[in-house]
Amino acid sequence: MTVGTDILLDTSTRSSTAFLADAPRFLFFTGKGGVGKTSIACASAIRLAEGGASVLLVSTDPASNVGQVFGVSIGNTVTQIDAVPGLAALEIDPEQAVQQYRERIVGPVRGLLPAAEVASIEEQLSGACTTEIASFNEFTDLLTDAAWTAAYDHIVFDTAPTGHTIRLLQLPGDWTEFLTAGKGDPSCLGPLSGLEKQRAVYAQAVAALGDPERTRLVLVSRAQQSTLAEAARTHTELAAIGMDRQYLVINGVLPGPDAELPSPATGHPAGVDDPLAAAIRLREQRALDARDPVLVALPTDHLPLMATNMVGLPALRGLLPHDGSTVSPEPAAELPTSGQVAPAHLGSSSGAGHLGDAGLEVLVDQIAADGHGLVMLMGKGGVGKTTMAAAVAVALAERGFAVHLTTTDPAAHLTDTLAGELTNLEVSRIDPAVEIERYTEHVLTTKGTRLDEQGLAMLREDLRSPCTEEIAVFQAFSRVTREAKNKFVVLDTAPTGHTLLLLDATGSYHREVARQMGTSMHFVTPMMKLQDPAQTKVLLVTLAETTPVLEAAGLQEDLRRAGIEPWAWIVNNSIAAASPTSALLKRRAANELPEIDAVRTRYAARTAIVPLLAVEPIGIPALAGLSGG
């Protein structure tokens, strides 16, 4: 561990796990999507359990992949991990949590109230606001309900990507303030039913989160400018609610060339002169040197980039070496030759309609042929949605089209990614705080003008409910989709789980409009636009790794159930397409090939493969280069 200074992992690939030393009861792992939170949380839970502790591993991510990492089905019930005595896991499934929450409220009145009133209550309980509250209640129970968590020495939380996690951890204070102020008759009364009785529970949750003897927050980052900046913002926001005792883990640092996997021909480290590996090391060192001072002050551990994906117990056990030990390189058997991982290997195309190793420019040309429309980029956190969205927007703008590039991601980095301005390109962000203010002002100047003082006071209380954010963000989303009638709107979405909640709100709105309008009147809702490929093209962004591909495939099925068919997939940051000579990178490239083949042959109608670049694609010229500019 280092405090205040860092030395990039060198030939010894030293790695420590000080963040697990004297671990308290609650451990939270959070950070920007794709930094390895789930892998580190799972590996930490294994380490604690194999040290003799009883451990419950909990995922609060709406798009959890803990089950995929362990290779077992987990879900919304505590599941023992048989291969690790003392370890159990739980995924807070939003849909199951909502069903249970809804039944607790509706069950007692079913059969007592008229069917129409019961149906009305159920409709009030069908939105994303209910999903948030239901999942949150399960989360607070884990912090406060000793009756069913007493059996565990440690509860390890694998959280959603940063923006969603900050929202979750702030909610105990938000709801406590809302209830303490005596708010009444809120518009989302259905979801809020019974919240008053939770007042003491929320207060206990606030106390637990702010107590360093009980709770430790571990910020997980990569040695990258954007993820370190995100970690600094997370540190500041969570320190503001009392979670100021934090640790930092820099994950996936590329080892020095002397620590590379040995060459099968010589038995000595290979890839010393690999320009791609050298450029990555230099980029990582510069990012570490330039990180925010608030991170420099944190206790910091480093974990090296591993040659294989973090799926299965052997890989997870190898991720966290014991302090003072070194990371042993994996055997060099079955290293691919350069011909096996060259871009030419990706040129074979299977199935009609596939584009094989087409670059991003081919997709952009096809999108541009429509002249306007909504382009939505979706996927797991950390796969590069923001970069790909910016690249598509820049390419369309340089082709002469008017483009509005915006994002629903709470941890948006569009401005940092673009690092400049471009003719025809408008950039914005759907900021929940701004949208709440806009929505509140609109309601007060419309409905509020017809109310007396008492009614106006109740309306203001209503609007201070945390549920107002759901309505405000949905309205902003609807507003930008309308612009796609006359220009291109490129939407960088939040990580998968958060995006599905937004689509849930869109679907709820569609059903309500359809109910009110009936079959005799023509109407168009945002959901109908998303379902029309002539108006909306959904691009799923993934990495050539097991978990991101499986999650993107799951997202595709969720979208299809909503009547939305993804238009194309983008495999981003492909090492295989970059032709590395470093032995470690070649091993990772070989692991990519089955995933790329699965995308092209099983999942995608169109595929673009974007190679890992020696220089981060930041700035308009670099982004233009991604799409052939």
Catalytic residues: 34, 36-39, 61, 547
CA dist., res. 169 & res. 238, Å (int): 8
Which parts of 267-406 fold into alpha helices (H)?
275-289, 293-296, 313-319, 338-341, 360-368, 385-398
Name the residue among 215, 211, 197 with its Cα closest to residue 26.
215
Q: Which residue(s) pair with 543 in the sheet?
A: 572
Q: Cα–Cα–Cα angle for 111, 112, 117, nearest 5°?
A: 90
List, as one string, the DSSP characters of 136-155.
HHHHHHHHH-HHHHTT-SEE
- The secondary element (H helix, E strand) that includes residue 197 is none
Contact call for residues 345 and 336 (beta carbons, < 8 A): no
Contact call for residues 192 and 468 (beta carbons, < 8 A): no
Tokens at residue 208, please? 């637990």
Checking phi first, is residue 424 left (phi over 0); if not, alpha (psi -120 to 50) or beta?
A: left
Helix (H, G, I), strand (E, B) or coil at 269: strand
Tokens at residue 522, please? 């023509």
Q: Which residue(s) pair with 407 in the sheet?
A: 492
Helix (H, G, I), strand (E, B) or coil at 166: helix
- How many Cβ atoms sit within 10 Å of the Cβ of residue 213? 9
Q: Give the HSE-up count for residue 154: Cα atoms under 13 Å, Cβ half-sphere.
A: 28
Strands 425-427 and 79-80: unpaired
